Amino acid sequence: MLSIKNFLRKNRNRERAEKENIPISFNILENVGGEVQEIIELPIQRSIIKANGYYAYNFASDQKPLSEQDRKLLGEAKSLIASDITNSIPEGMELKEIFSPTYFEKAREVALGYLKSYLPTERAYYISYIAASDTIGFGPISLLLEDSKNIEEIEINAPTLPISVYTSKYGRCSTNLRYNNEEDFKRSINKLLYLAENEINSTNPIVDAEIGNIRVHAQIKPYAHSGGFASIRIEGRKEIGVKKVVSNGTASPELLAYIWLALDSRLNIIIAGAPASGKTTLLSSLISLIPRYNKIVIIEDETNELENSAFVNAVSIYSSKKGITQEQQVINALRMRPDRLIVGEIRGKEAREMFSGSNLGIPFMTTMHSNEGGLSILRRLSVQPMSVEASALSMLDLAIYMKQTEVSRRRIDIVYEYSWLSRGEIDGTQGIDVGNVDKVSIEEIAKNGLIDLEKLKDSKVIGRFAYKNGLSRKKAIEELKKRAEFIKSMQNLKEQEIEEEINKYGVLIG
C-alpha cells in the first residue's frame, strides 16, 4: 500500500516533486454540442446534452478546454499541493484521513493562491478544483462522485475511452472525461481501492471492493483486453417509497393497494425482471406496507439498499463473497422466528432455504433476475443454481414482473397469481404439470400495469384477504378500492408522513 507521501507525489521522491510539475492524470475533452436537456449546478457546472439521439454528460460545461498553459499551471499547482500537504501531515496519520473536506479545501486554497497570479479568478478556481481533485481525490472519479444524486454508476470501458455514466433519468451517457493511459487509470482506481485496503496489480488483476456506499469491480490485463476496465456503482439513497411508486408510474394506486392486501395476507412474493428494471427500488418501497408490529429480517449481499428504519423490530444482516454466504444467512434468519423474511436478491442455494422456510409458515419477499414471467420464473427456480424442490416451489403465491419502458421509467408490467393443486387451490382438471408431482394455474391479474377488475372476483389475493379478515369477496374488493383512494389522498404528504399514516391504517370494513 502507498504511504500518504507517495499517494500525493505519484511515487516521486520529495525533491523531484518540488522541482517538477505533476501532470493531470486525465483529459477533459471539448463539450459535446447539442440540445441542452439539463444544467446541474455543482461547484463545477455540468450539463446533459442530447445529440444524435444519445445523451452526453459534459463536465465543466461553462469552461473552455484546457490549454497547454493551463496544463502546465495545473501540474505546478499539483506539485505545490503535494509539498504543502505532505509537510503538514501529523505523525502517524492514516491515508484515509486525508480524504476529507478539510484537506480538499486546503489543497484547493494552496492551488488557488498560486494560480491567481496567472489566471482570471474564475479560471483559477476551476483549475485549482481539478488540481485538488487529482491530488486529494481520485481524479475524474472524484469529479463524477460529486454528482452521486444523479449518477448511479461510473463505467470505464477502456483506459483511454471517454468515461460513461449511467443515470436513471437519461440512461447511459458518455462524458467528456478520459484517462491519458493505462498507468493513470490504474493509479486512479488504486487510490479509491486503498480505502478498502485493496489494490489492483499484476498479481491481483481482478478486484471487487466496497467503500462506503460505493461498489467497485475492476480488471486489468491479462483479463481486460483493453488494458483495464472498471464499474463503480453508487448505492446512494434513491427517492423511494409509496408516493414515488405512484408518482413515477411504477404502479397505479389500485395495483399498489392490491399488493398491500397480499402483504397483509402473508403471501409469498417475488419481484422479477431484467437488470435495471427497478426490482430493488420497488422491493424497498413495498417494505413500508408491512405492518410495523411485524418482525422482519432483511438479508442483503454486502450492501444496504433496503430501508427498515421505521420498524421497531427489524434485523438487517449481510452475506459476503469472502465470508458467510447468503444461504447461511437465510438459515440463520429463519432461526430468529421472523414474521417475514426479505431477501434482496436470490441467485443460488439461498432460494431453496427461503422456500423451505415459507413451508414452515415464514412468508418471504424477494427479487430475482428473469427476462420472462409466469412459468419461466418457476423453471428458473427449479433448476440449478437455485434448485428449489417441487414440494416447496408451490409456496410461491405472487410474481410481480418489472419492465423498463423508457430510459427513466420502470413499471410493474404483469402480476401473476400462482394457484396450486397440492395446496387445494385448484382441482386435478386445472393447471399445468410441474415436475410430474404438482399442478399450477397461473393467472395474469394485472397486465401493462393495469388491474383486470373482472379477474379480481376470483383472485387468490382477494380470497385470502377475505378469509383472513372474515369478509366476503365483494367486501374485500371494496377494501382494495378504499385503500387505493387512501393512497391517492396521501400524495401531497412527505414519505415519512405517508408511512406513519399507513402504519395507523386498519381494515376499514368490519
**Which triple of cell numbers denotes residue 292?**
410495523
The 3-state secondary structure of 118-143 reads CCCHHHHHHHHHHHHHCCCCCCHHHH
Give dist(CA 469, CA 87) in Å, integer: 72
* The total number of structural domains that make up the chain: 2
- DSSP strand E in 257-386: where? 269-273, 296-301, 314-319, 340-343, 364-369
Reported pTM: 0.74
Assigned domain for 507 exists: no
Assigned domain for 509 exists: no
Task: Note the pLDDT of residue 306.
Answer: 73
Q: Same domain for 432 and 415?
A: yes
CB-based burial label for 395 (10 Å; 0-12, 13-18, 19+): buried
User: Any residues with CB less than 8 A from the CB of 248 and at least 6 apart, and which?
Assistant: 409, 410
Omega before residue 253 within 30° of 0, cis: no
Task: List average pLDDT for each run of 10 residues in the chain, which is 510 residues long.
Answer: 58 42 86 93 94 92 92 92 81 72 90 94 95 92 93 94 91 93 93 89 92 90 93 73 84 94 96 89 90 88 63 76 84 93 94 95 96 93 93 95 76 95 92 86 93 92 95 95 92 82 68
Assigned domain for 112 exists: yes
Assigned domain for 385 exists: yes
Q: Same domain for 163 and 270?
A: no
Q: Same domain for 217 and 274?
A: no
Strands 54-59 and 46-51: antiparallel
Q: Which of 330, 358, 285, 495 is nearest to 315 (CA)?
A: 330
Q: CA-CA-CA-CA torsion for 103, 106, 110, 111, nearest 10 degrees?
A: 70
Last residue of a domain, one of 214, 234, 254: 234
- H helices present in 177-252, as ranges: 182-193, 242-247
User: Any residues with CB less than 8 A from the CB of 105 and at least 6 apart, and which?
Assistant: 132
Q: In this structure, are residues 59 and 28 in contact, taking their beta carbons and an 8 Å threshold?
A: yes
Assigned domain for 508 exists: no
Last residue of a domain, one of 216, 234, 252: 234
Task: Note the pLDDT of residue 303.
Answer: 61
Q: Same domain for 57 and 93?
A: yes
Give dist(CA 170, CA 151) in Å, integer: 10
Q: Which domain holds residue 277?
A: 242-498
Q: Same domain for 202 and 271?
A: no
Q: Same domain for 227 and 255?
A: no
For position 188, which CATH number holds? 3.30.450.380
Q: Same domain for 109 and 155?
A: yes
Secondary-structure breakdown of the chain: helix, strand, coil percentages, each rounded to the nearest 5: 35, 25, 40
Give dist(CA 143, CA 140) in Å, integer: 5
Task: Note the pLDDT of residue 408.
Answer: 57
Q: Same domain for 230 and 319?
A: no
Give dist(CA 271, CA 303) in Å, integer: 19
Q: Same domain for 247 and 224?
A: no
Q: Same domain for 225 and 255?
A: no
Please name the residue that has the C-alpha cell 442483503: 300
Give dist(CA 69, CA 344) in Å, integer: 51
Give dist(CA 101, CA 107) in Å, integer: 10
Assigned domain for 76 exists: yes
Give dist(CA 203, CA 32) in Å, integer: 39
Give dist(CA 98, CA 459) in Å, integer: 59
Q: Same domain for 475 and 362?
A: yes
Strand (E) or helix (H) holding 166: strand 164-167
User: Any residues with CB less than 8 A from the CB of 176 and at least 6 apart, and which?
Assistant: 28, 29, 30, 31, 32, 56, 57, 58, 59, 162
Please name the residue that has the C-alpha cell 444482516: 317
Please name the residue that has the C-alpha cell 444523479: 150
Assigned domain for 488 exists: yes
Helix (H/G/I), strand (E/B), else coil: 406: coil
Assigned domain for 505 exists: no
- 393-397 CB contacts, 8 Å cutoff, 24+ apart: 393/355, 393/434, 393/435, 393/438, 394/418, 394/420, 394/422, 394/423, 394/434, 394/438, 394/440, 395/268, 395/355, 395/358, 395/359, 396/268, 396/270, 396/355, 397/262, 397/267, 397/268, 397/269, 397/460, 397/461
Give dist(CA 121, CA 370) in Å, integer: 54
Q: Same domain for 170 and 224?
A: yes
Q: In this structure, are residues 164 and 172 in contact, taking their beta carbons and an 8 Å threshold?
A: yes
For position 284, which CATH number holds? 3.40.50.300
Strands 296-301 and 314-319: parallel
Strands 269-273 and 228-234: unpaired
Last residue of a domain, one of 234, 250, 274: 234
The 3-state secondary structure of 413-475 reads EEEEEEEECCCCCCCCCCCEEECCCEEEEEEEEEECCEECHHHHCCCHHHHHHHHHHCCCHHH
